Amino acid sequence: MAKIGFIGTGIMGKPMAENLQKAGHQLFLSTHHDPAPADLLAAGAIALASPKEVAQEAEFIIVMVPDTPHVEDVLFRSAGIAEGVGPNKIVIDMSSISPSATKTFADKIKATGADYLDAPVSGGEVGAKAATLSIMVGGSEQAFERALPLFQAMGKNITRVGGNGDGQTAKVANQIIVALNIQAVAEALLFAARNGADPAKVREALMGGFAGSKILEVHGERMIKGTFDPGFRISLHQKDLNLALSGARELGLNLPNTANAQQVFSTCAAIGGSNWDHSALIKGLEHMANFSIREE
Protein backbone atom coordinates (compact mmCIF):
# COMPACT_ATOMS: atom_id res chain seq x y z
CA MET A 1 0.00 0.00 0.00
CA ALA A 2 1.28 3.45 -0.94
CA LYS A 3 0.45 6.72 0.80
CA ILE A 4 -0.91 8.96 -1.98
CA GLY A 5 -1.84 12.62 -1.82
CA PHE A 6 -4.50 13.46 -4.39
CA ILE A 7 -5.33 17.09 -5.19
CA GLY A 8 -8.12 17.74 -7.70
CA THR A 9 -11.12 15.43 -7.35
CA GLY A 10 -13.29 16.74 -10.21
CA ILE A 11 -14.88 14.96 -13.16
CA MET A 12 -11.66 13.09 -13.95
CA GLY A 13 -9.82 13.19 -10.65
CA LYS A 14 -12.49 11.68 -8.42
CA PRO A 15 -12.86 8.36 -10.29
CA MET A 16 -9.08 8.16 -10.63
CA ALA A 17 -8.77 8.57 -6.85
CA GLU A 18 -11.49 5.95 -6.34
CA ASN A 19 -9.54 3.45 -8.44
CA LEU A 20 -6.44 4.06 -6.33
CA GLN A 21 -8.52 3.34 -3.23
CA LYS A 22 -9.86 0.15 -4.81
CA ALA A 23 -6.26 -0.93 -5.42
CA GLY A 24 -5.63 -0.68 -1.67
CA HIS A 25 -3.78 2.64 -1.43
CA GLN A 26 -4.23 5.22 1.34
CA LEU A 27 -5.38 8.64 0.12
CA PHE A 28 -4.75 12.06 1.62
CA LEU A 29 -6.90 14.94 0.33
CA SER A 30 -6.53 18.71 0.69
CA THR A 31 -9.57 20.76 1.72
CA HIS A 32 -7.90 24.09 0.92
CA HIS A 33 -9.95 24.82 -2.21
CA ASP A 34 -12.91 22.43 -2.02
CA PRO A 35 -14.37 19.99 0.52
CA ALA A 36 -13.13 16.42 0.20
CA PRO A 37 -15.73 14.16 -1.47
CA ALA A 38 -17.76 12.37 1.19
CA ASP A 39 -17.59 8.96 -0.50
CA LEU A 40 -13.77 9.09 -0.68
CA LEU A 41 -13.67 9.92 3.03
CA ALA A 42 -16.15 7.14 3.79
CA ALA A 43 -13.83 4.72 1.97
CA GLY A 44 -10.90 5.73 4.17
CA ALA A 45 -9.35 8.88 2.69
CA ILE A 46 -7.95 11.39 5.16
CA ALA A 47 -8.69 15.11 4.74
CA LEU A 48 -5.97 17.64 5.56
CA ALA A 49 -6.02 21.42 5.56
CA SER A 50 -3.45 22.24 2.87
CA PRO A 51 -1.42 20.82 -0.03
CA LYS A 52 1.67 21.17 2.19
CA GLU A 53 0.18 18.85 4.82
CA VAL A 54 -0.83 16.37 2.11
CA ALA A 55 2.72 16.38 0.73
CA GLN A 56 4.19 15.85 4.20
CA GLU A 57 2.06 12.74 4.77
CA ALA A 58 2.26 11.14 1.31
CA GLU A 59 4.98 9.37 -0.65
CA PHE A 60 3.34 10.23 -3.98
CA ILE A 61 1.47 13.49 -4.54
CA ILE A 62 -0.88 13.50 -7.55
CA VAL A 63 -2.22 16.76 -8.99
CA MET A 64 -5.26 16.74 -11.30
CA VAL A 65 -6.45 20.32 -11.83
CA PRO A 66 -7.65 22.25 -14.91
CA ASP A 67 -4.79 24.43 -16.17
CA THR A 68 -1.20 25.64 -15.82
CA PRO A 69 -1.93 28.44 -13.29
CA HIS A 70 -3.84 26.00 -11.08
CA VAL A 71 -0.90 23.58 -11.03
CA GLU A 72 1.52 26.40 -10.23
CA ASP A 73 -0.73 27.57 -7.39
CA VAL A 74 -1.07 24.11 -5.83
CA LEU A 75 2.67 23.51 -6.09
CA PHE A 76 4.14 26.84 -5.03
CA ARG A 77 1.58 28.88 -3.11
CA SER A 78 2.04 29.45 0.62
CA ALA A 79 1.49 26.05 2.26
CA GLY A 80 1.73 24.47 -1.17
CA ILE A 81 3.12 21.10 -2.16
CA ALA A 82 6.69 22.37 -2.58
CA GLU A 83 6.83 23.23 1.13
CA GLY A 84 5.99 19.65 2.10
CA VAL A 85 8.11 17.53 -0.23
CA GLY A 86 11.69 16.31 -0.07
CA PRO A 87 13.81 13.22 -0.75
CA ASN A 88 12.00 9.95 -1.59
CA LYS A 89 8.79 11.73 -2.57
CA ILE A 90 7.41 12.01 -6.12
CA VAL A 91 5.09 14.75 -7.38
CA ILE A 92 2.96 13.51 -10.29
CA ASP A 93 1.10 16.13 -12.31
CA MET A 94 -1.68 14.39 -14.25
CA SER A 95 -3.26 17.66 -15.41
CA SER A 96 -2.94 18.82 -19.03
CA ILE A 97 -0.75 21.92 -19.02
CA SER A 98 2.06 23.77 -20.78
CA PRO A 99 5.10 21.57 -21.60
CA SER A 100 7.50 24.49 -21.10
CA ALA A 101 5.97 25.44 -17.74
CA THR A 102 6.17 21.77 -16.75
CA LYS A 103 9.94 21.78 -17.21
CA THR A 104 10.21 24.82 -14.92
CA PHE A 105 7.94 23.26 -12.29
CA ALA A 106 9.92 20.02 -12.42
CA ASP A 107 13.23 21.81 -11.86
CA LYS A 108 11.85 23.66 -8.83
CA ILE A 109 10.38 20.53 -7.27
CA LYS A 110 13.55 18.52 -7.90
CA ALA A 111 15.53 21.25 -6.12
CA THR A 112 13.75 20.15 -2.92
CA GLY A 113 15.14 16.63 -3.32
CA ALA A 114 11.83 15.18 -4.56
CA ASP A 115 11.26 13.80 -8.05
CA TYR A 116 8.68 14.92 -10.60
CA LEU A 117 6.63 13.21 -13.30
CA ASP A 118 4.27 14.84 -15.76
CA ALA A 119 1.65 12.22 -16.57
CA PRO A 120 -1.36 13.66 -18.41
CA VAL A 121 -4.15 11.29 -19.41
CA SER A 122 -6.52 10.62 -22.28
CA GLY A 123 -9.76 8.70 -22.21
CA GLY A 124 -12.20 11.11 -20.62
CA GLU A 125 -14.59 10.44 -17.76
CA VAL A 126 -15.43 7.00 -19.17
CA GLY A 127 -11.78 5.95 -19.12
CA ALA A 128 -11.25 7.44 -15.67
CA LYS A 129 -14.15 5.43 -14.24
CA ALA A 130 -13.14 2.22 -16.01
CA ALA A 131 -9.42 2.60 -15.16
CA THR A 132 -8.58 2.38 -18.86
CA LEU A 133 -6.89 5.77 -19.31
CA SER A 134 -3.94 6.27 -21.61
CA ILE A 135 -1.17 7.83 -19.52
CA MET A 136 1.71 9.71 -21.16
CA VAL A 137 4.63 10.15 -18.77
CA GLY A 138 7.62 12.46 -18.74
CA GLY A 139 10.38 12.07 -16.17
CA SER A 140 13.18 9.80 -15.01
CA GLU A 141 13.06 6.04 -15.54
CA GLN A 142 13.54 5.49 -11.81
CA ALA A 143 10.58 7.68 -10.82
CA PHE A 144 8.44 6.11 -13.55
CA GLU A 145 9.13 2.59 -12.28
CA ARG A 146 8.25 3.59 -8.71
CA ALA A 147 4.99 5.18 -9.82
CA LEU A 148 4.01 2.46 -12.32
CA PRO A 149 1.74 0.51 -9.92
CA LEU A 150 -0.26 3.70 -9.35
CA PHE A 151 -0.61 4.29 -13.08
CA GLN A 152 -1.69 0.66 -13.57
CA ALA A 153 -4.53 1.23 -11.09
CA MET A 154 -5.82 4.10 -13.23
CA GLY A 155 -5.00 3.20 -16.82
CA LYS A 156 -4.11 0.58 -19.41
CA ASN A 157 -1.89 2.19 -22.07
CA ILE A 158 0.99 3.60 -20.01
CA THR A 159 4.02 4.99 -21.84
CA ARG A 160 7.10 6.79 -20.60
CA VAL A 161 7.64 9.20 -23.49
CA GLY A 162 10.87 10.80 -22.27
CA GLY A 163 12.02 13.46 -19.83
CA ASN A 164 10.02 16.09 -17.98
CA GLY A 165 7.73 17.97 -20.37
CA ASP A 166 7.56 15.14 -22.90
CA GLY A 167 4.42 13.70 -21.33
CA GLN A 168 2.69 17.04 -21.69
CA THR A 169 3.94 17.35 -25.27
CA ALA A 170 2.39 13.97 -26.06
CA LYS A 171 -0.91 15.08 -24.50
CA VAL A 172 -1.00 18.25 -26.61
CA ALA A 173 -0.39 16.10 -29.69
CA ASN A 174 -3.22 13.82 -28.55
CA GLN A 175 -5.58 16.77 -28.22
CA ILE A 176 -4.76 17.97 -31.73
CA ILE A 177 -5.64 14.55 -33.12
CA VAL A 178 -8.84 14.26 -31.07
CA ALA A 179 -10.06 17.73 -32.03
CA LEU A 180 -9.46 17.21 -35.73
CA ASN A 181 -11.16 13.81 -35.64
CA ILE A 182 -14.18 15.28 -33.85
CA GLN A 183 -14.37 18.00 -36.48
CA ALA A 184 -14.05 15.44 -39.30
CA VAL A 185 -16.89 13.33 -37.91
CA ALA A 186 -19.05 16.40 -37.29
CA GLU A 187 -18.53 17.74 -40.81
CA ALA A 188 -19.25 14.33 -42.35
CA LEU A 189 -22.49 13.85 -40.42
CA LEU A 190 -23.58 17.42 -41.13
CA PHE A 191 -22.91 16.93 -44.85
CA ALA A 192 -24.83 13.64 -44.88
CA ALA A 193 -27.85 15.00 -43.03
CA ARG A 194 -28.03 18.22 -45.08
CA ASN A 195 -27.93 16.07 -48.22
CA GLY A 196 -31.01 14.18 -47.04
CA ALA A 197 -29.40 10.99 -45.69
CA ASP A 198 -30.04 9.59 -42.22
CA PRO A 199 -26.89 10.49 -40.24
CA ALA A 200 -27.37 7.50 -37.93
CA LYS A 201 -27.39 5.13 -40.90
CA VAL A 202 -24.40 6.90 -42.46
CA ARG A 203 -22.49 6.51 -39.20
CA GLU A 204 -23.43 2.82 -39.08
CA ALA A 205 -22.17 2.33 -42.63
CA LEU A 206 -18.91 4.17 -41.97
CA MET A 207 -18.15 2.23 -38.79
CA GLY A 208 -17.24 -0.85 -40.82
CA GLY A 209 -14.82 0.89 -43.17
CA PHE A 210 -11.54 2.77 -43.09
CA ALA A 211 -13.32 5.82 -41.64
CA GLY A 212 -14.22 3.84 -38.52
CA SER A 213 -12.77 5.26 -35.31
CA LYS A 214 -13.41 5.61 -31.59
CA ILE A 215 -14.49 9.20 -32.24
CA LEU A 216 -17.03 8.08 -34.84
CA GLU A 217 -18.26 5.35 -32.50
CA VAL A 218 -18.61 7.34 -29.27
CA HIS A 219 -18.84 10.99 -30.24
CA GLY A 220 -20.68 10.31 -33.48
CA GLU A 221 -23.44 8.72 -31.43
CA ARG A 222 -23.49 11.71 -29.08
CA MET A 223 -23.80 14.07 -32.04
CA ILE A 224 -26.76 12.14 -33.44
CA LYS A 225 -28.55 11.82 -30.09
CA GLY A 226 -27.64 15.33 -28.91
CA THR A 227 -26.29 14.08 -25.59
CA PHE A 228 -23.65 16.67 -24.75
CA ASP A 229 -23.29 16.38 -20.97
CA PRO A 230 -19.59 16.89 -20.39
CA GLY A 231 -17.17 14.04 -20.25
CA PHE A 232 -14.58 16.56 -21.43
CA ARG A 233 -15.69 20.18 -21.64
CA ILE A 234 -15.20 22.37 -24.71
CA SER A 235 -13.50 24.99 -22.51
CA LEU A 236 -10.83 22.45 -21.52
CA HIS A 237 -10.24 21.39 -25.11
CA GLN A 238 -9.89 25.06 -26.04
CA LYS A 239 -7.25 25.35 -23.33
CA ASP A 240 -5.35 22.40 -24.77
CA LEU A 241 -5.50 23.75 -28.33
CA ASN A 242 -4.26 27.09 -27.02
CA LEU A 243 -1.22 25.18 -25.69
CA ALA A 244 -0.76 23.63 -29.14
CA LEU A 245 -1.05 26.92 -30.99
CA SER A 246 1.14 28.92 -28.62
CA GLY A 247 3.74 26.16 -28.70
CA ALA A 248 3.59 26.12 -32.49
CA ARG A 249 4.25 29.87 -32.59
CA GLU A 250 7.31 29.39 -30.37
CA LEU A 251 8.55 26.65 -32.72
CA GLY A 252 7.78 28.56 -35.92
CA LEU A 253 5.17 26.01 -36.99
CA ASN A 254 1.87 26.49 -38.77
CA LEU A 255 -0.99 24.23 -37.59
CA PRO A 256 -3.84 25.44 -39.83
CA ASN A 257 -6.33 22.67 -39.10
CA THR A 258 -5.78 22.97 -35.36
CA ALA A 259 -6.44 26.69 -35.62
CA ASN A 260 -9.63 26.01 -37.58
CA ALA A 261 -10.91 23.53 -34.99
CA GLN A 262 -10.23 26.11 -32.29
CA GLN A 263 -12.37 28.62 -34.18
CA VAL A 264 -15.27 26.17 -34.28
CA PHE A 265 -14.91 25.55 -30.54
CA SER A 266 -14.96 29.34 -30.13
CA THR A 267 -18.25 29.45 -32.03
CA CYS A 268 -19.65 26.90 -29.59
CA ALA A 269 -18.46 28.99 -26.65
CA ALA A 270 -20.03 32.11 -28.17
CA ILE A 271 -23.46 30.44 -28.27
CA GLY A 272 -23.22 29.31 -24.66
CA GLY A 273 -21.47 25.97 -25.04
CA SER A 274 -18.25 26.30 -23.04
CA ASN A 275 -19.40 23.57 -20.68
CA TRP A 276 -20.76 21.23 -23.35
CA ASP A 277 -18.90 18.00 -24.09
CA HIS A 278 -16.34 18.50 -26.86
CA SER A 279 -18.42 16.29 -29.17
CA ALA A 280 -20.77 19.29 -29.29
CA LEU A 281 -18.33 20.90 -31.72
CA ILE A 282 -20.98 19.87 -34.26
CA LYS A 283 -23.31 22.49 -32.77
CA GLY A 284 -20.86 25.20 -33.84
CA LEU A 285 -20.95 23.88 -37.40
CA GLU A 286 -24.74 23.59 -37.26
CA HIS A 287 -24.99 27.18 -36.02
CA MET A 288 -22.94 28.41 -38.97
CA ALA A 289 -24.99 26.30 -41.39
CA ASN A 290 -28.35 27.21 -39.79
CA PHE A 291 -29.16 23.50 -39.94
CA SER A 292 -29.25 20.72 -37.31
CA ILE A 293 -28.79 17.02 -37.93
CA ARG A 294 -31.28 16.38 -35.09
CA GLU A 295 -34.92 17.33 -34.71
CA GLU A 296 -34.73 20.06 -32.07
Contacts of 43 (CB under 8 A, 6+ apart): 18, 21
244, 179 contact by CB (below 8 A): no
Options 89, 103, 129, 171, the catalytic residue: 171
> Quick one: CA dihedral 67, 71, 73, 79, positive or negative?
positive
Amino acid occupying residue 246:
S
106, 116 contact by CB (below 8 A): yes
- 8, 58, 135, 154 alpha-carbon torsion, rounded to 10°: -80
Residue 22 appears among annotated catalytic residues:
no
* β-bridge mates for residue 196, sequence order: none
4, 48 contact by CB (below 8 A): no
Q: Which residues are catalytic?
A: 171
